[in-house]
Amino acid sequence: MENLHEGLTGKRELVVEEKHTAQHLGSGGVPVFATPMMVLAMEEAALNAVDHLLGPNQVTVGYHLDVKHLAATPLGMKVRAEAKLVKIDGKMLHFTVEAYDEKEKIGEGTHIRAIIDIAKFKEKLAKKTGTV
C-alpha cells in the first residue's frame, strides 16, 4: 500500500460489440453501449490504476459508484474509460472516472474501491456460506 499515491491513473479500452449493448444485456431496447458495461470499464480502469501496486495478498473491490451516462455509443466504436486516484482514506481509494468514445465524453463520475486482504475475505465468505 505504500506504493499508492494520489494521481495514479488507469484505463480500459474496448470496441463496442453486440455483447456490450443494452439490447443484449436487457438494460435497454437499443443496440448501443450499455450503461452496465460502461460502469464495468470504469471499475476496471480504477483497478488497473492500483491493484498491481498492492501487496501479494491484497486486491481492491468496488465499494461505491456514482456515474452519469452522458451519450450513446454505437456498435463498432472504440470506448476508453479512465480513472484517477484522487484521495486515499485508509483502505478506501477514491477515484474520478470518465469514459469516452471516438467522438465525445460519454460518462463521468466517482468511484470508491476498498483494499481487502484476500484470506480474510475468503474466511468471511466461508462463514457466510457455513463452510467453516
User: What amino acid positions are annotated as catalytic residues?
Assistant: 35, 43, 69
Distance CA 2, CA 65 (A): 25
The string over 77-91, giving b where at least 16 C-beta atoms fall within 10 Å of a residue's C-beta and e elsewhere, is bebbbbbbbeebeee
Cell of residue 122, nine digits: 475468503
The string over 36-75, giving b where at least 16 C-beta atoms fall within 10 Å of a residue's C-beta and e elsewhere, is ebbbbbbbbbbbbbbeeeeeeebbbeeeebebebeeebee
